[in-house]
Amino acid sequence: MQTIPQEAKIKVENNNRIKTITLNHPKAKNAVSEASSNAIRHAITESYTDGTRVIILTGAEGNFCSGADLGAGGMSNPKEYDVTSYLKESVNPIILGLRNSNLPVIAKVRGVAAGLGANFALACDMVFATPNAMFSQIFTNIALSSDGGGSYFMPRNVGYKKAFELMTTAAKVSAEEALQYGMINQIIEEDKIDNYVQELAEKLANGPFVAIQQTKANLREGVRGTLESTLEMEAENQANNFQTQDFVEGVMAFLQKRKANFKGE
């Protein structure tokens, strides 16, 4: 299991094959330092081999993540800080890990999700937010361009022209607007969001795990590939599903008109 340095300011819990990664720096609205980013990256990487079936990414005490902690470590001296290496070695692997692994990833967003924090959320497969959630590609407010994949995710969610507007003006996007733009799945009331996300995670964790993984892979190819390449991947991945006991169970349950008892193997 991962040993998390105290300066990393994240919490990692793994219960019943559901891993919850909580950004835990409330005084800075859960801004992430280089140490935090590396700990998140390790937590995601470990998920490939530690039995995790679903990842929940969230923030502590009422906020998701306000972006990079510019006052931490070398970032406090920006002219001497190697931001390119930080992004390539610490941040980019997080974004790629969330998107390119076949594990389902759910973002649970309260309060602020700004800058890199917004892009952590957008990299997830599903995003559920409370009514007070606020998303912002806030980079230009401090004379930065986007990072963390914002230039990839935003035009795919809202279209190029709207993405350009929202990103160059560092606009604040409410939960209602984010839902309208297709940036999030659903708005859930504050007192219900924890149970809602947990129940969804349990449904995925206890479902036909191979089929769920292959579905994520197929969707990923559908977004970035062609119809031809997607059809090829679907055909190849379906062969993997045909070899699972869950497929046999699913067919039998359908024929017997009962609920399937998937083992996820």
Would you say residue 247 lies in a domain? yes
Q: Look up the domain containing 236 and give its range.
A: 209-255
Would you say residue 94 lies in a domain? yes
**Averaged pLDDT score across all residues of the chain:** 95
Could you tell me if 89 and 11 lie in one domain? yes
- Give me the pLDDT at residue 217, please: 97
Would you say residue 200 lies in a domain? yes
Could you tell me if 220 and 115 lie in one domain? no
Q: Note the maximum CA span of the chain.
A: 67
pLDDT-based confidence at residue 79 (cuts at 50, 70, 90): confident
Q: Give the number of domains in the chain.
A: 2
Could you tell me if 166 and 251 lie in one domain? no
Would you say residue 78 lies in a domain? yes
Which residues are CB-contacts of 86 (< 8 A; sequence separation ≥ 6)? 34, 37
Residues in the chain: 265
Could you tell me if 221 and 240 lie in one domain? yes
DSSP string, 43-78: HHHHTTTS---EEEEEESTT-SB-SB-TTSGGGGSG
Question: How does strand 186-187 pair with strand 126-129?
Answer: parallel
Could you tell me if 113 and 239 lie in one domain? no
- Give me the pLDDT at residue 265, please: 74
189, 205, 221 - which closes a domain = 205
How far is the C-alpha of 32 from the C-alpha of 117, rounded, in Å? 8
103-155: pLDDT as tens digits:
999 999 999 999 999 999 999 999 999 999 999 999 999 999 999 999 999 99
Could you tell me if 163 and 187 lie in one domain? yes
Would you say residue 265 lies in a domain? no
How far is the C-alpha of 35 from the C-alpha of 82, rounded, in Å? 15
Could you tell me if 97 and 192 lie in one domain? yes
Would you say residue 261 lies in a domain? no
CATH of the domain at 131: 3.90.226.10
CA atoms within 13 A on the CB side of 81: 14
Nearest partner of 67 among 33, 20, 26, 110, judged by Cα = 33
How far is the C-alpha of 58 from the C-alpha of 30, rounded, in Å? 10
The DSSP secondary-structure symbol of 80 reads: G
What's the N-to-C CA distance of the chain in angstroms? Answer: 23
182, 205, 228 - which closes a domain = 205
Would you say residue 262 lies in a domain? no
Question: How far does CA 89 lie from the centroid of its chain?
Answer: 18
Would you say residue 191 lies in a domain? yes
Could you tell me if 194 and 87 lie in one domain? yes
pTM, two decimal places = 0.94
